[in-house]
Structure 1
């Protein structure tokens, strides 16, 4: 067997193969005789027709079938000999075979793209990043959320700003007639909050149960729709007092309100630190993606986008999506992720990063130790090979980023979350 490889680009290969008749003759005769036994023609018992008649009538079909079988066999053999690993299914560009002749074929497929990591990358990673620190307002906001979660609702006679209304909404046409099929029942709204801002809530102030209020509200694709709102219940939110007893109700191991505030502060800072780590990793990823000349294999991009479409359909099963527009929109995201997939792999190889079995066992043990009540579920989860493989991949990635962070020249701009809130309010 003779083989030759043509490089179309950094990831596309054309494999040309010539298999001599001497390597095919024995198998072809077996295939011919097998088909001859099955062949039926008037005037002859099955399998007894002369070779000349069999070749005349079904010879081309036997040759075509044998060529296809042989192509798969010698294609795999050529890949092993050349130590090539395709990343997609090969396309047959040419195949030629007749009895007593060589088998020749050409196939095109994609491989992992050829590229080089940036030279001296260990000394060229420069990052400027904001790092946020928890503020007193963060703690206050968390305390308010806890109080809301433990609040109670109490019925009142008349509605005020901040009260909850339990009501039915009937859409009306321009003449004030109810639109059949456009009624929304048993809805909870909070006056002065969310969609019901102070302006929209004003007509409901001082209204009572059984009152009906006609208002213009934003609805669906229409800018404004007229609704008749039938009030069924009015409730006031009663928040628990913020004291040591409240802290103990949140968690039995808290002794007083100061303990609760300290824990909330630590938890918020932990989340901010996690966010910082993710942003730092993304900036390092972007550095390598921008600094590395690498092409994205067409088949990988197509598969990535197709998977994204399927995921989007699952998330929005009731909504039709324009697949072409969605794929065009997500194409840069797909390219970025595929590029990083290859860069990550080459960095791990270049740095000689390996994962010991003890690393995996240690992580699982620590997870169980910190979540004793879910010990059985955690063991069962990581007994699954796919889940365990994903964990190992994540642990290797963690090792890689720890190394890359060590190489990086990082300029940290420390800020309070108050600054972050101010910017959001400005927008």
Structure 2
């Protein structure tokens, strides 16, 4: 078998494959015998038809079937011989084959392009590190969230206030205000204000009591359509937050003795969360800086394969709900391209710097997880007995080594971010 390789571009290769008749003759004879068993010809038993009679009538059929049955075999032999790994299905062209002649064809396919690492110097990767400055509001909000986590729900009849939930019946009305038959919705929950879709009609809900009736205009579709409803209150539920006292401390963390201890513990966790947030953003910035500097290419089919997997993941999350696949692909395409670029550079860094994770390294990382949640040790160790989960720990450990290596080439600009500004942005959105 003769093979000629043509580099079309960075990620496309074309193989010209030629197999001589000497290599094919015995296989073609076997194909003739196999074909004869499928043919019924008057005067001859199945499989006993003379070769010349069979070829006279069916030679072109046998040749076509032989080609179809052997493309894949010779193609696989060729890519193995050339030590190539296609990332998509090959396009076959320029096919030639007749009995007593050679069998030739071309196969065009994509491969993972070879990336190269830029020569890294000090300060060649420009990155930003965010320093988060928290304030008393963050601590108060966190304690409020703890109180909400231990809140009780009470049914009240003294009139709804902002934040209450109305359990009600909604009756849709036509344009003249007459109830529409079949459009009555019982046991509906509406929140009074606090960002609910009835926020613009909050005043109509405040003060309502059981059995009260009011009229609301509510959205019925995402495109802005609205309809009138008659609302009849069944019950009003109110979230009752616990007082921050000794009983509350025991609920939250029995090791805390005073409210000051709680405040200090909450602040410590806030600082830790913002440090993690800063670290995650910094590491992302660091890898993006290398991607921008190296700008590796990728095969289009690799992006398509990535997006196909993303679509399948989203389908599973949607649990059978209708899905616009084209929109999912469009949304995730920049993510796919970015991740494929990082994947190629990551692989090069692992090879060039000989980065790896030993069994001991993986065990140390698992032990760290156990130390953080000692009450879940049994579940954690069971989870990481599964090879795929241990592989994830190994990959994360190697990723950390890669980022530690890249950090020595970083020019870091530290930027202070006040959490009050973040809250302001959230409020505006």
TM-score by structure 2 length?
Answer: 0.90
Contact 1:294 1:339 (8 Å CA) reproduced: yes
User: What SS is found at the alignment partner of 1:300?
Assistant: helix
User: What SS is found at the alignment partner of 1:131?
Assistant: strand
Match of 2:21 in 1: 21
Match of 1:211 in 2: 212
**C-alpha distance in structure 2 between counterparts of 1:68 and 1:358, whole Å:** 51
Match of 1:35 in 2: 35
Q: How does 1:184-223 map to 2 (within 5 A)?
A: 184-195=185-196, 200-221=201-222, 222-223=224-225
Contact 1:301 1:338 (8 Å CA) reproduced: yes
Match of 2:379 in 1: 377
The answer to whether structure 1 residue 74 and structure 2 residue 59 are counterparts is no
Contact 2:122 2:410 (8 Å CA) reproduced: yes
Match of 2:6 in 1: 6
**C-alpha distance in structure 2 between counterparts of 1:260 and 1:338, whole Å:** 45
**C-alpha distance in structure 2 between counterparts of 1:3 and 1:122, whole Å:** 46
Match of 2:131 in 1: 131
User: What SS is found at the alignment partner of 2:408?
Assistant: helix
Contact 1:4 1:17 (8 Å CA) reproduced: yes
Distance 1:51 1:122, change over 3 A: farther
Match of 2:271 in 1: 269
Distance 1:215 1:39, change over 3 A: closer
User: What SS is found at the alignment partner of 1:86?
Assistant: coil
Match of 2:92 in 1: 92
Match of 1:357 in 2: 359
Q: Residue by residue, what CA displacement relative to the aligned partner does 1:138-162 show, whole Å, maximum 9, x if unpaired?
A: 1110111121222233343331423
Structure 1 residue 230: Cα displacement: 0.8
Match of 2:175 in 1: 174
Q: Which stretches in structure 1 are left out of the alignment for 5+ residues? A: none
Q: How does 1:23-422 map to 2 (within 5 A)?
A: 23-37=23-37, 39-120=39-120, 123-162=123-162, 163-195=164-196, 200-221=201-222, 222-317=224-319, 320-422=322-424
**C-alpha distance in structure 2 between counterparts of 1:97 and 1:390, whole Å:** 49
Contact 2:120 2:409 (8 Å CA) reproduced: no
Q: Residue by residue, what CA displacement relative to the aligned partner does 1:264-308 show, whole Å, maximum 9, x if unpaired?
A: 222222221221122112212222222223333121122222233
Contact 2:160 2:236 (8 Å CA) reproduced: no
Residue correspondences, number: 427
Structure 1 residue 340: Cα displacement: 1.8
User: What SS is found at the alignment partner of 1:56?
Assistant: helix
Distance 1:256 1:44, change over 3 A: same
Distance 1:206 1:111, change over 3 A: closer
Structure 1 residue 369: Cα displacement: 4.4
Q: Residue by residue, what CA displacement relative to the aligned partner does 1:11-36 show, whole Å, maximum 9, x if unpaired?
A: 01001111222222233233333433
Contact 1:12 1:111 (8 Å CA) reproduced: yes
Task: Please report the RMSD computed on the Cα atoms of aligned residues, expressed in angstroms.
Answer: 2.5
**C-alpha distance in structure 1 between counterparts of 2:30 and 2:396, whole Å:** 51
Contact 1:93 1:107 (8 Å CA) reproduced: yes
Distance 1:344 1:246, change over 3 A: same
**C-alpha distance in structure 1 between counterparts of 2:382 and 2:64, whole Å:** 51
**Most deviating of 372-381 and 174-183:** 372-381
TM-score by structure 1 length?
Answer: 0.90
**Most deviating of 141-150 and 377-386:** 377-386
Distance 1:85 1:122, change over 3 A: farther
**C-alpha distance in structure 2 between counterparts of 1:245 and 1:397, whole Å:** 44
Distance 1:350 1:123, change over 3 A: farther
Distance 1:87 1:204, change over 3 A: closer
**C-alpha distance in structure 2 between counterparts of 1:37 and 1:195, whole Å:** 75
**C-alpha distance in structure 2 between counterparts of 1:382 and 1:189, whole Å:** 43
Contact 2:91 2:107 (8 Å CA) reproduced: yes
Contact 1:87 1:112 (8 Å CA) reproduced: yes
Q: Residue by residue, what CA displacement relative to the aligned partner does 1:75-113 show, whole Å, maximum 9, x if unpaired?
A: 222222222111122221232222222221210111111
**C-alpha distance in structure 1 between counterparts of 2:155 and 2:40, whole Å:** 90
Contact 1:21 1:103 (8 Å CA) reproduced: yes
